[in-house]
Amino acid sequence: MGALLEYGALLALLAAALLVLAAGLQRRGARDGAAARAGDDPAVRARLAAADERVAAADRDAAVLVELAGVGAVRVAPDLTVTAANEAAHRLVARRPGTMVGCGVLEAFTDHHVEAIVRTALEAGSAAGEVVVRTEDGPTLLARARRTASGDAWLVLEDVSELRRLQRIRTEFIDNLSHELRTPLTNVSLLAETLAADAGSLPPRAAERVAKIEVETGHLVQMVNELLDLSRIESGVAAVVVDDLDLGRLALSTVDRVRLFAERHGVTLEVSVPRAVALVRGDGDRIGQALLNLVHNAVKFSPAGSTVAIRLTPTEAEVVVAVEDHGQGIPRSALPRIFERFYKVDRARTRGAGGTGLGLSIARHIVEAHGGRIWAESEEGVGSTFSFAIPVNGPDLASTPGG
């Protein structure tokens, strides 16, 4: 949270600095026009000189602000030549101060990725990406570029190494902890199961308690397994088997896996898959798991007698899978947080449902690892629709180990 606040403050500072810089450039343009009109009039010339000094002071102010923000700021001309770069930019890519100006972006950063980001920004208006500087202990940089009104692009570089390191530590911690917990918990769960099987020989109150222990340990084992899954997907350790995938067939087989659960809840499952659905590149088991989580939730939060519809809609660029229910719905205030790990709308309301609060988080990670997006629409008391879209020409998953 602290890191986020700092990040926000940094961005605000940077935005202010860039605004001042941009204003300086604009003023300089206006001043050039005025100089041409002023001719030899000494009074006008004096006013222009004073204006020049004010512009220079504003530029110096902006430079101080940018340096204070600790971010690298680089201006790139449309022909991809670096025309300005502050000290932080040089420091972040381990170059001597002043050695970037005049170089091409590729030469300045020795990284095709940065060049691609700037090129896209010059063409499309803006672009962003993360790059790791290829020096010993090189930092991880968040690079964001935006085209200016003059046709140049500003490239802003932020060092996010510490943030990524903390995220890695958190993932490793959860992974280790889940590993350690899994074996004893599975044993306790098996013991509870064995005890429950002999419940007939126990006094009724003891049998009741054994049944509760069995259910609760089952939840614990599920939670630990999901935590392990999540940290493996997050850290890229989970094996990704990339194949040409027919999402229609995947939807039908996934729904089959939830059918029994739906029947027990008195919920009808309806699947609608158009005849021709473009193949996508991806891991069938993983995407199946994401869809399973959505359908499972839809059933869990629906009243008996209602219907859950699973629909596939192919567009030119992606295949959209939607799961619609007529269940209890999600309050508007909770919707933005629904994909966070461990988030549950109302713990009291969902206690009996036995969820871990990890299912949607896992689904989000899987979909995003495939270059897709996931979202939810809902109205409390009316129902919810959870959708995800997988691009037809997704990222080259084979070259990103673990996706």
Residues near ligand ADP (CB under 6 A): 293, 297-298, 301, 325, 327-330, 338, 343-345, 350, 355-361, 384
Q: How many CA atoms lie within 13 A of 398 on its CB side?
A: 4
Identity (one letter) of the amino acid at 331? P
Q: What's the token pair of residue 202?
A: 């126990």
CB 308 within 8 A of CB 261: no
**Closest distance between ligand ADP and the C-beta of residue 358, in Å?**
6
For the record, the structure tokens of 184 come out as 């004893």
Tokens of 134: 């290829």
Least gap, CB of 360 to ligand ADP (angstroms): 3
Check residue 278 and report its DSSP letter.
-
Shortest reach from residue 287's CB to ligand ADP, in Å = 16
CA atoms within 13 A on the CB side of 179: 8
Give the residue with the Cβ less far from ligand ADP, 357 or 391.
Answer: 357
Nearer residue to ligand ADP within complex by CB, 281 or 296 = 296
155 in Cβ contact with 74 (< 8 Å): yes
**What minimum distance in Å lies between the beta carbon of 186 and ligand ADP?**
19
Residue nearest to ligand ADP (CB): 355
| Nearer CB in complex with ligand ADP: 110/225 | 225
**Cβ distance to ligand ADP smaller for residue 102 or 381:** 381
Closer CB to ligand ADP, 208 or 340, in the complex: 340
Rounded CA gap, 300 and 235, in Å?
29
Q: How far is the CB of 263 from ligand ADP (least distance, A)?
A: 18
Which CB atom, from 108 or from 255, has the smaller least distance to ligand ADP?
255
Q: Which is nearer to ligand ADP, 171 or 356 (CB)?
A: 356
Percent composition of the chain: helix, strand, coil (DSSP 3-state, to 5): 55, 20, 25
For tokens 């050039």, what's the residue? Answer: 32
Give the three-state DSSP class for 391.
Answer: strand
Minimum CB–partner distance for residue 352 and ligand ADP (Å): 11
Task: Indicate the helix (H) or strand (E) that contains 286.
Answer: helix 284-300
Minimum CB separation of residue 75 from ligand ADP in Å reads: 44
Cβ–Cβ < 8 Å for 88, 67: yes
